[in-house]
Amino acid sequence: MKTRILLPLAGVALLILSGCRTSVNTIENAQKEGQRQMISDSRVITDGSLARKVSFVGVNQTMTPGGLLKIQIELLNRKHSLQRFSYQFQWFDASGMQLTTVASPTIPDQIEGGESKFISSVAPTPACKDFRVKFIEN
């Protein structure tokens, strides 16, 4: 009798757990034509929980035809469930001064379990030389 009750409960629990755990499988070309110009980065982690879930793989940069700096960051969800976060790019000129004349939105985003995702931004002016990206868990 006890088994009769426990079995359906276990089944429901399994269904709930499997419903929350979805991760992404990927396939890509092994011989890459494009070469990413990776740059060294400096990280400040104050939310260890977020860092354990969504980690930074690397940062690469390029210049647009108009001479603007373009930054791309690769993120990896280390968990098997969807993670929600927000990020914000900040840009700095050659003197290290932040460019506050341009709107820098806080962008809500999400990443599937096990997914590798790229986020990118283009500098608002050719004067931008450095950047900082802030991440916060939603």
Beta carbon nearer to other proteins, 6 or 136: 136
Least Cβ distance, residue 133 to other proteins (angstroms):
14
β partners of residue 59: 39, 73
* 3-state DSSP of 33-67: CCCCCEECCCCCCCCHHHHHHEEEEEEEEEECCCC
Least Cβ distance, residue 42 to other proteins (angstroms):
23
Beta carbon nearer to other proteins, 83 or 121: 121
Interaction residues for other proteins, span 70-129 (CB under 8 A): 70, 86, 101-108, 121-122, 124-126
Beta carbon nearer to other proteins, 23 or 106: 106
| φ, ψ dihedrals at 118, nearest 5° | -110, 140
Least Cβ distance, residue 136 to other proteins (angstroms):
7
What is the enclosing helix (H) or strand (E) of 109? Answer: strand 107-111
* Residue pair 17/109 in contact by the 8 Å Cβ criterion: no
Beta carbon nearer to other proteins, 71 or 75: 71
Task: Give the C-alpha separation, 138 to 111, whole Å.
Answer: 12
Binding positions for other proteins, rule: CB under 8 A: 64-66, 68, 70, 86, 101-108, 121-122, 124-126, 136, 138
